[in-house]
Amino acid sequence: MVESDVSPESNRRIFVIKPNRSLSWKQSKRVFFFLTACLVAVGCYFFLLGAWVVLPFAGLEVGLIGFVIYRQFRWASRQQIIEIEDNTVWISENDPSGSKIGFPAAWLQIKHNKDPYNWYPSRLYVGSHGRYVEIGKNLVESEREFLAEELRCAVQK
């Protein structure tokens, strides 16, 4: 999903690229608690039948499901931010490293590499002077093409 914002008082344009999340954090917690309740009910049932060995494995399942839901939500909340100013294009990600890469707008190249057989998704690179950054990895093909065209228009102005 691509969100765009134009600052009217300055010549600044911002693109925010993020995955299309299907669940919010609140909904993810609800799914986790529902699955936990089901696993606890099954574990208690087998415990009452005398198969107490099931309980530690049910606990491991709950922990693993919680870890996977948390990691998936962290991945889904990642985003790339592209800021286009008068003479510089800044690309950053909201990951823990917090790296921010700048390119001169006059020399910026936007490369949209497509697979000739349409077997693989295309790749969108932005950069200059032999240094490129891939953007829009989590976008669908039509969104990637739209982003490439919008970036070209924004840089040319």
Q: Is residue 148 scored above 70 in pLDDT?
A: yes
Rounded to an integer, what distance in angstroms lies between the CA atom of residue 32 and that of residue 74? 15
Greater pLDDT, 4 or 104: 104
Band (8; pLDDT cuts 50, 70, 90): low
> How large is the average pLDDT for residues 141-152?
90
Give the tens place of pLDDT for each residue, 38-58.
Answer: 999 999 999 999 999 999 999
Strand partners, 2: 17
Within the chain, all domains assigned CATH 2.30.29 are found at: 2-19+78-156
What value does the mean pLDDT of the chain take?
A: 88
Q: Which residues contact 129 (CB under 8 A, 6 or more apart)?
A: 107
> How large is the average pLDDT for residues 67-75?
91
Q: Is residue 5 scored above 80 in pLDDT?
A: no
Total residues found in the chain within this entry: 157
Q: In what order do the strands lie in the sheet with 80-84?
A: 2-7, 12-17, 80-84, 88-93, 100-104
Helices and strands: H and E segment counts in the chain: 3, 8
With residue 75 as reference, give the H or E element that holds it. Answer: helix 54-76
Count of CB atoms situated within 10 Å of the CB of 148: 19
Q: Which residue has the tokens 């999903």?
A: 1
This prediction has a pTM of: 0.74
The pLDDT score that the predictor gives to residue 20 is 82
Which of 74, 82, 66 is CA-nearest to residue 2? 82
> How large is the average pLDDT for residues 86-101?
83
Q: What CATH number should be reported for the domain whose range is 2-19+78-156?
A: 2.30.29
The pLDDT score that the predictor gives to residue 86 is 80
Strand partners, 125: 111, 134
Band (77; pLDDT cuts 50, 70, 90): confident
